[in-house]
């Protein structure tokens, strides 16, 4: 899907003063990273490492993995397309609602694609599928799936492609990377752009059993990760303990925002374990609401109607600063009064 994602402010002529459409951390890149990257500018004068090998080794060391288990990518989207290519033509199930690129990548590589509602996963005793794409925490809902080990135990015939792009935004679950010791049929997709606010650099990684990683590595084209992105990744893992999100405060702000949206703005809000959440407009459609907010208030939300399993009233919001959150509450309150 080339269009229809969040963070599409570049498509509007109106000035955006508050962008709720992207679930990237609003606080910007880690302190010191910008200066560090400026000092690494000389790296662009040469080709980067073919597979970002030094960063792979650093990530592996951080998680106590073998270097051969880690593959650095040009963001999670490249990871998704690599997986779809490596397992071309397989019978694949996608837990929905879900990131559209899972489906697009699988159809590009001729998978037999099926869909299963997220809340039905635990009721199926055995999955009749070769691959299962599941985003945990889920995008766009912010839901988390708890009995993951039970699901994997019941389905040794299925390769679980677990997207943890938003794992840093929840306290309800922890990463499944330690499970790689037990399960060869588990492959994890991780992002370094969401929690560290560098989506323009495009940076992520895949962790899996060595034979799975080798399958993907054989298909990867050289130099897909640029030199400054590699430098940013190294900076992240060099300073990992000191650059973590103020997560509990962020989630506290999310709770305050969702409470006011429901009580004051009359918006239906769905439960979420992350800083972003789904909501539904009581009037008209999410697309019309989005246009109204852009034109009248300089506010951008994510029209979520193009997520499979959702409808034309769904939109996604990511928590920003309390001051910007108030702008959204006021704008939605005005919208409801205007439509009533």
pLDDT digit string, tens, across residues 46-100: 999 999 999 999 999 999 999 999 999 999 999 999 999 999 999 999 999 998 8
Quick one: pLDDT at residue 122? 83
Quick one: pLDDT at residue 337? 79
185 with 201, same domain: the answer is yes
CB 73 within 8 A of CB 251: no
Tell me whether residue 1 is in a domain.
no
CATH of the domain at 334: 3.90.1150.10
Place of tokens 């990760």: 225
DSSP 30: P
The rounded mean pLDDT for the chain is 93
Quick one: pLDDT at residue 266? 86
Tell me whether residue 2 is in a domain.
no
**Closest to 168 measured CA to CA, from 274, 271, 71:** 274
Domain range spanning residue 289?
9-25+246-339
CATH of the domain at 53: 3.40.640.10
71 with 20, same domain: the answer is no
Task: Report if pTM > 0.75.
Answer: yes
Residue 309: other Cβ atoms inside 10 A:
16
Please provide residue 78's backbone torsions phi and psi, each rounded to the nearest 5 degrees.
-60, -40
148 with 216, same domain: the answer is yes
Type and span of the H or E element at 323: helix 322-339
- When divided into structural domains, the chain yields a total of 2
238 with 250, same domain: the answer is no
Query: Which residue ranges in the chain fall short of pLDDT 70?
Result: 1-12, 340
13 with 42, same domain: the answer is no
Quick one: pLDDT at residue 10? 60
Question: What residues pair up with 189 in beta bridges, in sequence order?
Answer: 163, 206
Task: Please identify, among 207, 223, 242, the residue that sits at the C-terminal boundary of a domain.
Answer: 242
193 with 226, same domain: the answer is yes
Tell me whether residue 57 is in a domain.
yes
């Amino acid at each position: 899907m080339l269009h229809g994602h969040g963070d599409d402010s570049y498509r509007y002529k109106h000035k955006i003063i508050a962008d709720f459409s992207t679930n990237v951390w609003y606080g910007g890149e880690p302190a010191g990273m910008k200066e560090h990257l400026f000092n690494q500018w000389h790296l662009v004068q040469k080709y980067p490492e073919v597979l970002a090998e030094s960063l792979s080794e650093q990530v592996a060391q951080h998680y106590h993995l073998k270097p051969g288990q880690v593959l650095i990518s040009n963001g999670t989207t490249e990871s998704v397309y690599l997986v779809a290519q490596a397992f071309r033509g397989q019978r694949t199930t996608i837990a929905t609602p879900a990131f559209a690129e899972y489906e697009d990548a699988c159809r590009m590589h001729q998978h037999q694609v099926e869909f299963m509602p997220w809340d039905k996963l635990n009721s199926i005793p055995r999955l009749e599928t070769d691959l299962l794409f599941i985003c945990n925490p889920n995008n766009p809902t912010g839901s988390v799936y708890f009995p993951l080990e039970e699901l994997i135990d019941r389905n040794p015939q299925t390769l679980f492609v677990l997207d943890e792009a938003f794992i840093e935004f929840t306290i309800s679950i922890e990463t499944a990377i330690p499970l790689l010791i037990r399960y060869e049929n588990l492959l994890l997709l991780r992002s370094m752009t969401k929690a560290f606010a560098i989506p323009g650099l495009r940076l992520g990684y895949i962790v899996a059993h060595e034979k799975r990683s080798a399958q993907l590595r054989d298909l990867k084209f050289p130099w897909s990760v640029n030199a400054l992105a590699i430098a940013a990744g190294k900076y992240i893992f060099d300073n990992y303990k000191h650059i973590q999100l103020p997560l509990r405060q962020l989630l506290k702000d999310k709770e305050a925002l969702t409470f006011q949206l429901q009580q004051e703005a009359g918006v239906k809000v769905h439960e979420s374990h992350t800083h972003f959440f789904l909501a539904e407009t009581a009037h008209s459609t999410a697309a019309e609401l989005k246009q109204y907010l852009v034109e009248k208030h300089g506010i951008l939300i994510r029209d979520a109607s193009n997520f499979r399993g959702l409808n034309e009233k769904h939109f996604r919001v990511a928590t920003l600063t309390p001051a910007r959150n108030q702008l959204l509450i006021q704008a939605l309150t005005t919208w409801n009064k205007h439509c009533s």
